[in-house]
Amino acid sequence: MDTRTLGGTLKVSAMGFGCMGLSFGYGPAQSRADAVALIRAAYDMGITFFDTAEAYGQLNEEFVGEALAPVRDKVVIATKFGFRGGVPTDGMDSSSQRIRTVIENSLRNLRTDYVDLFYQHRVDPAVPMEDVAGTVKDLIAEGKVRHFGLSEAGAESIRRAHAVQPVAALQSEYSLWWRSPEAEILPLLEELGIGFVPFSPLGKGFLTGAITPDTQLAANDFRNVVPRFSAENRTANQVLVERIAAIASRLGVTNAQVALAWVMAQKPWIVPIPGTTKLARLQENAGAAAVVLTSSDLAEIGAVLADFDVQGERYPAALAANVGR
């Protein structure tokens, strides 16, 4: 797999692997053996960039640490801090003491003595961004962290952080059905030389075509509270999936591969991190790195997007209040 560079110096595979769903957010956790095997399979496919977080639970970081310990010097591991006690529903906490607690726990869980990329998971309005960036800067000087990242941050926060400690990457949602970053964030990242790491590049699975209005999600699947995934909105949004499917069929690839190739085609410093719990899906996603969309293909996709209004918000109101700060 080809490589890309985040923030001018952090070289990663052109596509990463988002590990959240292995134990958090999308139903029951995978067994340790299955999760470790899937992460190792991703590495064998050429993926060298792996994303986890304190908020996904200790088990998630442990999966990553166990799977990648034998190849630690050949991979880039990203994790995140920013929630009180590591629990998103308990609110923010990016105090210096909390950041330091998180890094020590993460180093232990990940079986390593440094984290390649340490993100603030959400901006904490109670802690000045300069203080957050300053703490991470100190951790970099101490050798415990190599690069600083932000997640779902707004333009002002990005600028303030970058002035104290260069930000290597911003992680935010971006896909065929969520293009809001194009208006302000992508131009800012290009100006500052910051890489972009889109999560949910497959629309939380919807763009693959595997989710229909009749799909029954697990009781603890967070998509149950996402307005975009109501039965009514799934029905309306199915039209977009069908139009992408027609393009995929013409190209001889899958919906997922078109969606991922489109994201990667937007900028050379964009590295999506799709996640999955299935080996076949992992192979399919990795195959998207070899899909080259021509200018004609991109124009056709652009025309589809211009002609379709996605129905439903991407977050319920309580979660939406924590992004873009």
Which positions are catalytic?
56
Q: What are phi and psi of 200, to 5 degrees?
A: 50, 45
If you compute the radius of gyration of the chain from its CA atoms, what whole number of angstroms results? 19
Largest CA distance in the chain: 54
Of residues 12, 1, 71, 41, the one with CA closest to residue 276: 41
CA distance 39 to 59: 14
Q: What are phi and psi of 90, to 5 degrees?
A: -90, 0
CA 92 to chain centre: 19
Of residues 168, 174, 163, 159, the one with CA closest to residue 123: 159
Q: Give the position of tokens 């080809």.
A: 2
Q: Give one DSSP letter per residue of 139-177, joined into a string.
A: HHHTTSEEEEEEES--HHHHHHHHHHS-EEEEEEE-BTT
194: Cα within 13 Å, side-chain hemisphere: 31
Q: What are phi and psi of 176, to 5 degrees?
A: -60, -25
